[in-house]
């Protein structure tokens, strides 16, 4: 069994296998109803716990649908409703859940919660987002890029905005999948210094996007950020908005991605989000396929 905790902790050959499986599983389902079972039913008789300590639309629904398509069953748990939210330790929670379910996906605040869960669970644990990383999202993003443009190896990816958790997983992916990643954003919102990823920094967004194959952004205020930071962040990040003028400086066939949910016309304009470069809804769909491949890898199924 394997945990899927972070991209930089997962072997590049395994990551490649996951992406290729995701694409194959997606192709095998073309034209079939969403509720139709996958023919091979790799998660038959498996029970999966999906724990959310933060809100979610895509992660929650895509994991739930994915498990069901593969023949398994899910239980979606809110952290606040569990004893976990009332003082029971992560370690005890992990040991108990491991007696009931075959796999645990958790979206949480502190990375340590995820790590403690993985240390004490005897079943695979999957990172569904922490304050520091969001690896499932970036697996879907790699799948999406390659679906539209072929291998991501050697391509130029530009992140414009906050150096947040989603950026961190992109930086991990740049190392593992061997693409060039440029961060453009204001210094106070730089990625954390200890990040074990690969990227360069270019403060000027117009310069940064020159020759980009992919331009990516995310919300300016993440779920773990204090709402009081909103106004300051808007002032810091305004110049990093992804709009038509910025996209025009990237390669003519550059793609645009956003993990969603978006604050339209803040970090990216609706004209970009709904424009010809945008693949945001393919990204959202591929959460389903990429995570199904992640779950199979975790279980060796």
Catalogue the active-site residues. 107, 134, 137, 218, 259, 287
Among 57, 122, 270, 271, binds ligand CP (CB under 6 A): 57
Window 126-165: residues binding ligand CP (CB under 6 A): 129, 137
281 binds ligand CP (CB under 6 A): no
Residue 164 interaction partner, one of ligand NVA, ligand CP, none, beta carbon < 5-8 Å per kind: ligand NVA
Minimum CB separation of residue 168 from ligand CP in Å reads 14
Q: Which two tokens stand for residue 50?
A: 């999906």
Q: Which two tokens stand for residue 18?
A: 């996951």
Q: Which stretch binds ligand CP (CB under 6 A): 40-48, 52-60, 196-204, 290-298?
A: 52-60
Residue with smaller CB distance to ligand CP, 104 or 208: 104
Residue 219 interaction partner, one of ligand CP, ligand NVA, none, beta carbon < 5-8 Å per kind: ligand NVA
Residue 155 to residue 151: CA distance in whole angstroms: 8
Nearest to 169 by CA among 9, 47, 41: 9
Residue 91 to residue 12: CA distance in whole angstroms: 29
Nearest to 108 by CA among 191, 165, 162, 151: 165
**What are φ and ψ of residue 216, in 5° steps?**
-130, 145
Q: 92 Cβ partners below 8 Å, 6+ apart?
A: 120
Among 48, 50, 51, 59, binds ligand CP (CB under 6 A): 59
Please state, in angstroms and as integers, the Cα–Cα distance from residue 213 to each residue in 115, 180, 254, following that order: 34, 10, 4
SS3 call for 46 = coil
Q: How many CB atoms lie within 10 A of CB 237?
A: 21
Residue with smaller CB distance to ligand CP, 57 or 89: 57
48 binds ligand CP (CB under 6 A): no
Among 46, 58, 132, 277, binds ligand CP (CB under 6 A): 58
Residue 63 to residue 287: CA distance in whole angstroms: 8
Q: 254 Cβ partners below 8 Å, 6+ apart?
A: 209, 212, 213, 214, 215, 247, 277
Minimum CB separation of residue 59 from ligand CP in Å reads 3
251 binds ligand CP (CB under 6 A): no
Alpha carbon of residue 270 to chain centroid: 22
Minimum CB separation of residue 134 from ligand NVA in Å reads 6
259 binds ligand CP (CB under 6 A): yes
Minimum CB separation of residue 127 from ligand NVA in Å reads 12
Cβ pair 135, 9 in contact under 8 A: no
Residue 57 interaction partner, one of ligand NVA, ligand CP, none, beta carbon < 5-8 Å per kind: ligand CP
Interface positions with ligand NVA (CB under 6 A): 129, 164-166, 218-219, 222-223, 259
Q: Which stretch binds ligand CP (CB under 6 A): 25-33, 189-197, 258-266, 291-299?
A: 258-266
Alpha carbon of residue 31 to chain centroid: 26
Q: Indicate the annotated binding residues for carbamoyl phosphate.
A: 56-59, 83, 107, 134-137, 259-260, 287
Interacting residue ranges for ligand CP, rule: CB under 6 A:
56-59, 129, 137, 259-261
């Amino acid at each position: 069994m394997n945990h899927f905790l972070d991209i930089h902790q997962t072997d590049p050959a395994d990551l490649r296998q996951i992406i290729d499986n995701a694409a194959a599983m997606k192709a095998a389902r073309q034209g079939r109803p969403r509720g139709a079972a996958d023919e091979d039913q790799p998660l038959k008789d498996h029970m999966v716990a999906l724990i959310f300590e933060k809100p979610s639309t895509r992660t929650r629904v895509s994991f739930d649908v994915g498990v069901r398509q593969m023949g398994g069953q899910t239980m979606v748990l809110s952290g606040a409703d569990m004893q976990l939210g009332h003082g029971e330790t992560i370690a005890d929670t992990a040991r108990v859940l491991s007696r009931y379910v075959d796999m645990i996906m958790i979206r949480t605040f502190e990375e340590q919660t995820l790590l403690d869960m993985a240390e004490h669970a005897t079943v695979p644990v999957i990172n569904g987002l922490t304050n520091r990383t969001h690896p499932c999202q970036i697996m879907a993003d790699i799948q999406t890029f390659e679906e539209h443009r072929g291998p991501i190896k050697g391509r130029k990816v530009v992140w414009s905005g906050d150096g947040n958790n989603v950026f961190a997983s992109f930086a991990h992916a740049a190392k593992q999948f061997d693409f060039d990643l440029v961060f453009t954003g204001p210094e106070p919102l730089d990625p954390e210094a200890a990040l074990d990823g690969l990227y360069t920094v270019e403060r000027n967004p117009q310069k940064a996007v020159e020759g980009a194959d992919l331009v990516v952004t995310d919300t300016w205020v993440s779920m773990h950020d204090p709402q009081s930071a909103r106004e300051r962040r808007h002032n810091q990040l305004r110049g990093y908005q992804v709009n038509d003028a910025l996209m025009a400086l990237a390669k003519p066939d550059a793609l645009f991605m956003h993990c969603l949910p978006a604050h339209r016309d803040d970090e990216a304009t609706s004209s970009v989000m709904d424009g010809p470069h945008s693949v945001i809804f393919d990204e959202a769909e591929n959460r389903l396929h990429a995570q199904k491949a992640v779950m199979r890898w975790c279980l060796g199924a």
